[in-house]
Amino acid sequence: MEFLDKIVLHQSAHHMELIKYLLILTHFLFIGYTGLLLGSVLISYFFKKRYDKTKDEKYYLNIKKFIDLATFNKGASFTFAIIPILSAMFGYSQLLHLSNINFAFYFIWSALFLFIALIFIYSFKYSIHLRDIFSLTEKSNVQLDNLKSEIEHYKSSTNLLYDKSGLYGLLILLVSVYFYSIASQLAVNLNNWNPNRSFITELFSINSLTYFLLFINISFIITSIIVLYKYFRNNSTEKFETEEVKDYLKNFSLKLLLSFSAILPLIIILNVFSKPVLSFSFDYFGGTVLFILLILFVISFTYLMIKENHLKFITTILLLFSISLFVFVNNEQSSFDTSTKSHFAFLSNEYDVYEKNLKESAGLIKVAINGADIYNGKCIACHQFDKKVVGPPYNTVIPKYEGKKDQLVKFILNPVKKNPDYPSMPNQGLKPNEAEAVADFLLSNYKKN
Ligand code: HEC
């Protein structure tokens, strides 16, 4: 992705730190929102299958309860899902500049797939709500004939949407999340720092696969927490058709939360093992332990709520899980930092050189001037200390300048005719500070010879 290399800004180590913090926030937003989206689409698709098979109304009501969770506003979906992917891509292009890793390819495809998936998912959502409207108009016995045929027409296309869009949206969303998993894990493994690595090897890397599994697991947890919080917290205004539907949804979500948070520690450990040793650090292990501990709290609170048949702790769980998600994202960033340490040293060195050149060209720092270098570069062709070349040997002409450096500098800057036995010396075009440095060099070296 050459265009990304072109827009990279030169950055100091401090700027890179800042970008890392922004990346943590970006991943947190992305996993939080897209996790909810994925979880809610997966579960509502599951209920759709059940409803299609059994025609049991309570399943149908649950399709709506879930699909509405993350699709409350198209602008929000765009802001929380697509923008984070693009900003992660720009963030990594700064941090992984000159690294040969093709992460941008996966981010761009992830964003594209996500965009298409959102279109299908919103179509699925609207198809369900339209079906409701059509069945209402049927019940209310609309008499107008041409309106009837119009409705008939839209009803069949709505049914087609209802049938297909959920599945397509779900599959494309999964592909998008998988590409995101590859992109965000790519730099952690140094084996990937090879531009010739094939797409297929990348697709099946253990590292990205476990991260993907982890993502799905987290999606179920986020979704069940949000369902419980949105529909069942103390001051929730949600209306349910019947008590049975309400109880069903409550028990279903609690069990979902308990089972997926119970497997999470296992997948976390799997995730640790799938990472290269090079990405490990003390911080990383500390973060992993903290994350697992927080999840154990979530599990215990959920278990208590199931056992005592209430939902008192749901706000606590929401808070606990948000913190754990933050710990997790921060920890992933820490493994990224450890693996890419040497690359950062390289980049910040790059920056130091860049900064020095910039300051030099702006005249902010003096270039270190070395008299010996100037002698070797500009004078040696005509002068030696002990031999006559084109000009006189320094050992014979410099002694008269002892204690008169000013005059020597003056001569070097503007040579005048001195000795009839020699031709005149051509002006060497030195700057005053260069003439001074070479004069110092001559004065301190002729004695030794
Ligand atoms: C192209 C040949 C040439 C180069 C290059 C050259 N010089 Fe000379 N230099 C001469 C000649 C010829 C003389 C004798 C001039 C005279 O006596 O009029 C001379 C004379 C001198 C003298 C003696 C002046 C005196 O008072 O007798 C000094 C000191 C000197 N050069 C310094 C330098 C330094 C320093 C450089 C390099 C920055 C340099 N020269 C480069 C040809 C050269």
Full set of structural domains in the chain with CATH: 2-353 (no CATH), 371-445 (1.10.760.10)
Chunked in runs of 10, what are the mean pLDDT values of the chain (449 residues)?
Answer: 62 79 92 95 94 91 91 88 90 76 85 95 90 78 67 80 90 94 78 67 82 96 95 84 90 95 94 82 90 96 93 94 94 83 73 76 70 88 88 91 91 90 88 88 78
Q: How far is the CA of 438 from the centre of ligand 1 (A)?
A: 12
SS3 call for 80? helix
Report whether residue 32 contacts ligand 1, using a CB cutoff of 6 Å: no
Report whether residue 390 contacts ligand 1, using a CB cutoff of 6 Å: yes
What is the DSSP-derived secondary structure letter of residue 10?
A: P
User: Model pTM?
Assistant: 0.72
Report whether residue 173 contacts ligand 1, using a CB cutoff of 6 Å: no
Question: What is the atom index within ligand 1 of the atom nearest the CA of 430?
Answer: 38
Place of tokens 């019947």: 242
Handedness of CA 304, 309, 311, 312 (dihedral sign): negative
Per-residue confidence (pLDDT) for residue 10, from 0 to 100: 67
Burial of 126 (0-12, 13-18, 19+ CB in 10 A): middle
Pocket test for ligand 1, best of 369, 380, 382, 436 (most atoms within 8 A of CB): 382
Q: Could you give the C-alpha distances from 128 to 19, 54, 55, 260, in angstroms and in order?
A: 42, 17, 15, 28
Tokens of 269: 């450990």
Q: How far is the CA of 401 from the centre of ligand 1 (A)?
A: 13
Residues written for the chain: 449
Place of tokens 């943590």: 24
Question: What is the atom index within ligand 1 of the atom nearest the CA of 398?
Answer: 29
Q: Cα-flanking dihedrals φ and ψ of residue 383, to 5°? A: -130, 140
Instruction: Region of 365 please: left (phi>0), alpha (psi -120 to 50) or beta.
Output: beta
Per-residue confidence (pLDDT) for residue 366, from 0 to 100: 62
- Spatial contact of 355 and 19, defined as CB atoms under 8 Å apart: no
Per-residue confidence (pLDDT) for residue 13, from 0 to 100: 72
Of 324, 320, 322, 323, give the one whose Cα is nearest residue 305: 320
Q: What is the C-alpha separation between 355 and 150, in angstroms, rounded?
A: 69
Q: What is the C-alpha separation between 181 and 185, in angstroms, rounded?
A: 6
Report whether residue 383 contacts ligand 1, using a CB cutoff of 6 Å: yes
